[in-house]
Chains A and B, each alone.
Chain A
Amino acid sequence: MSQRDQLKKARARKRGKIAIILIGLIAIYVWAISGIEFRGIQETAGPVTKNILKGFISPDWSYVYSPDGEDLIRGLLETLAIAIAGIFLSIILAVPVGLWAAKNLSKSFITSQSGKGVLSFFRTLPDIILALLFIKVVGPGAFAGMLALGIGAMGMLGKLYAEEVEAMDPGPVESIAAVGGNKLQQLAFGVIPQVLPGFISATLYRFEINMRSAATLGLIGAGGVGTALIFAIQGRSWDRVGIILIGIVVVVLIVDLLSSALRKRIT
Chain B
Amino acid sequence: MMDTKLNGPLPAKPSRWPFYFFLIGLFAIVLISAIYIGANPLTFIQNSDNMVDLFVRMFPPAWSYIATTTPAMLETIRMALLGTTIGMVFSIPIMFLCARNIFRLRWLVELSRIGLNVLRTIPDLLLAAIFAAILGFSPLAGIVALSIFSIGIIAKLSFEAIENIDNGPLESMTAVGANKLQWIAFGVVPQILPHFVSYVLYTFEINIRAAAILGLVGAGGIGVFYDRALGFFAYDQVLALILYTLVVVIIIDLISLKIREKLL
Q: Do chains A and B touch in the complex (CB under 8 A)?
A: yes
Bitwise interface map of A from 135 to 154 toward B, beta carbon under 8 Å scored 1, else 0: 01111011101110000000
B157 CB–A CB distance under 8 Å: no
CB–CB A38/B37 < 8 A:
no
Query: Which of A59-67, A77-85, A106-114 contacts its partner?
Result: A77-85
Alpha-carbon distance A84/B226, docked complex (angstroms): 27
- Tell me the nearest residue of chain B to A91, going by C-beta: B30
Contacts of B40 in A (CB 8 A): 143
Query: Which of A3-11, A27-35, A156-164, A165-173 contacts its partner?
Result: A27-35
**Nearest CB of B to A220, in Å:** 6
Contacts of B85 in A (CB 8 A): 29
CB–CB B38/A233 < 8 A:
no
Alpha-carbon distance A133/B44, docked complex (angstroms): 13
Bitwise interface map of B from 50 to 91 toward A, beta carbon under 8 Å scored 1, else 0: 110010000000000000000000110111011001000000
Known: A28-B81, A215-B126. A36 touches B143 (CB 8 A): yes
**Nearest CB of A to B202, in Å:** 15
A267 CB–B CB distance under 8 Å: no
Query: Which of B2-10, B94-102, B208-216 contacts its partner?
Result: B208-216
Q: For the complex, would chain B's binding face be called helix, strand, loop or mixed by DSSP majority?
A: helix
Q: For the complex, would chain A's binding face be called helix, strand, loop or mixed by DSSP majority?
A: helix
- Give which listed residue, A32, A52, A141, contacts B81 with CB less than 8 A: A32
A155 CB–B CB distance under 8 Å: no
CB–CB B126/A216 < 8 A:
yes
A178 CB–B CB distance under 8 Å: no
Alpha-carbon distance A38/B82, docked complex (angstroms): 13
Within 8 A of A (CB), among B111-151: 117-118, 121-126, 129-130, 133-136, 138-140, 143
A95 CB–B CB distance under 8 Å: no
Contacts of A84 in B (CB 8 A): 29-30, 33
CB–CB B82/A36 < 8 A:
yes
B230 CB–A CB distance under 8 Å: yes
Alpha-carbon distance A48/B246, docked complex (angstroms): 36
B24 CB–A CB distance under 8 Å: no
CB–CB A39/B138 < 8 A:
yes
CB–CB A32/B216 < 8 A:
no
- Tell me the nearest residue of chain B to A234, going by C-beta: B133
Known: A52-B130, A220-B216. A252 touches B139 (CB 8 A): no
CB–CB B134/A137 < 8 A:
no
Give the most central of A28, A48, A128, A223: most B CB within 10 Å. A128
Contacts of A176 in B (CB 8 A): none
B242 CB–A CB distance under 8 Å: yes
A219 CB–B CB distance under 8 Å: yes
A262 CB–B CB distance under 8 Å: no
**Nearest CB of A to B29, in Å:** 6
CB–CB B37/A42 < 8 A:
no
- Tell me the nearest residue of chain B to A238, going by C-beta: B133
- Give which listed residue, B37, B74, B79, B242, contacts A78 with CB less than 8 A: B37
- Give which listed residue, B47, B122, B136, B216, contacts A248 with CB less than 8 A: B122
A177 CB–B CB distance under 8 Å: no
Contacts of B117 in A (CB 8 A): 253, 256
Alpha-carbon distance A220/B140, docked complex (angstroms): 21
**Nearest CB of B to A156, in Å:** 12
- Give which listed residue, A37, A81, A226, contacts B33 with CB less than 8 A: A81
- Tell me the nearest residue of chain A to B80, going by C-beta: A32
CB–CB B122/A38 < 8 A:
no
B43 CB–A CB distance under 8 Å: yes
Alpha-carbon distance A147/B140, docked complex (angstroms): 32
Known: A81-B33, A85-B34. A45 touches B134 (CB 8 A): yes
- Give which listed residue, B47, B130, B249, contacts A138 with CB less than 8 A: B47
- Give which listed residue, A28, A39, A121, A249, contacts B122 with CB less than 8 A: A249
In the complex, the 8 A-B pairs of residues with the closest C-beta atoms, listed nearest first = A142-B37, A81-B33, A252-B121, A216-B125, A84-B33, A212-B123, A42-B136, A32-B78
